[in-house]
Amino acid sequence: MSVHDRAGTRARPEDLVNVPALLAAYAEDHPDPSVAAQRVAFGTSGHRGSSLTTTFNDDHIAATSQAICEYREEQGTDGPLYLGRDSHALSEPAWRTATEVFAANGVQVLVDAGGRFTPTPAVSHAILATNRGRSSRLADGVVVTPSHNPPADGGFKYNPPDGGPAGTDATTWIANRANELLEAELHGVRRVPFEAVSADVGHYDFLDAYVSELDQVLDMDAIRAAGVRIGADPLGGASVDYWAAIAERYSLDLTVTNPETDPAFSFMTLDWDGKIRMDCSSPYAMASLVEIMRGGAEARSAGAPLAAPYRIATGNDADSDRHGIVTADGGLMNPNHFLAVAIDYLYRNRSGWPAGAAVGKTVVSSTMIDRVTADLGRELYEVPVGFKWFVPGLRSGDLAFGGEESAGASFLRLDGTPWSTDKDGIILALLASEITAVTGRTPSEHYAELTARHGEPAYARTDVACSAEDKQRLGKLDAGAVTATELAGEPITAKLTSAPGNGAAIGGLKVQTASGWFAARPSGTEDVYKVYAESFLGPEHLARIQDEARDVVAGALGGAKAGV
Name the residues annotated as catalytic: 147
* CA separation for the pair 203, 262 (Å, rounded): 24
The SS3 assignment for 60 reads helix
Alpha-carbon torsion (430, 435, 440, 443), positive or negative: negative
Alpha-carbon torsion (317, 320, 324, 327), positive or negative: positive
* CA separation for the pair 443, 312 (Å, rounded): 9
Task: Report how far apart, in Å, the C-alpha atoms of 247 and of each of 125, 277, 370, 396, 419 are.
Answer: 20, 26, 35, 31, 20
User: Looking at this protein, which amino acid is placed at residue 1?
Assistant: M
* CA separation for the pair 264, 267 (Å, rounded): 9
E strand segments, 129-229? 140-144, 153-159, 202-204
φ, ψ for residue 111, nearest 5 deg? -115, 170
* CA separation for the pair 276, 288 (Å, rounded): 13
* CA separation for the pair 534, 519 (Å, rounded): 9
CB 58 within 8 A of CB 26: yes
CB 44 within 8 A of CB 388: yes
In 3D, which of 25, 140, 133, 139 has the Cα closest to residue 89?
A: 25
Alpha-carbon torsion (143, 147, 152, 153), positive or negative: negative
* CA separation for the pair 156, 145 (Å, rounded): 6
- The DSSP bridge pattern shows strands 153-159 and 140-144 to be antiparallel
Look at the chain and count its residues.
Answer: 564
The SS3 assignment for 333 reads coil
H helices of 440-478, where?
443-454, 468-475
Alpha-carbon torsion (301, 306, 310, 315), positive or negative: positive
Would you tell me the crossing angle of helices 368-376 and 443-454 to the nearest 10 degrees?
80
The per-residue DSSP string of 215-229 comes to GGTS-HHHHHHHT--
In 3D, which of 285, 181, 308 has the Cα closest to residue 237?
A: 285
* CA separation for the pair 526, 210 (Å, rounded): 37
Half-sphere exposure of 511 (CA within 13 A, CB side): 28
For residues 79, 80, 85, 90, the Cα torsion angle rounded to the nearest 10 degrees is 80
E strand segments, 200-308? 202-204, 230-233, 254-256
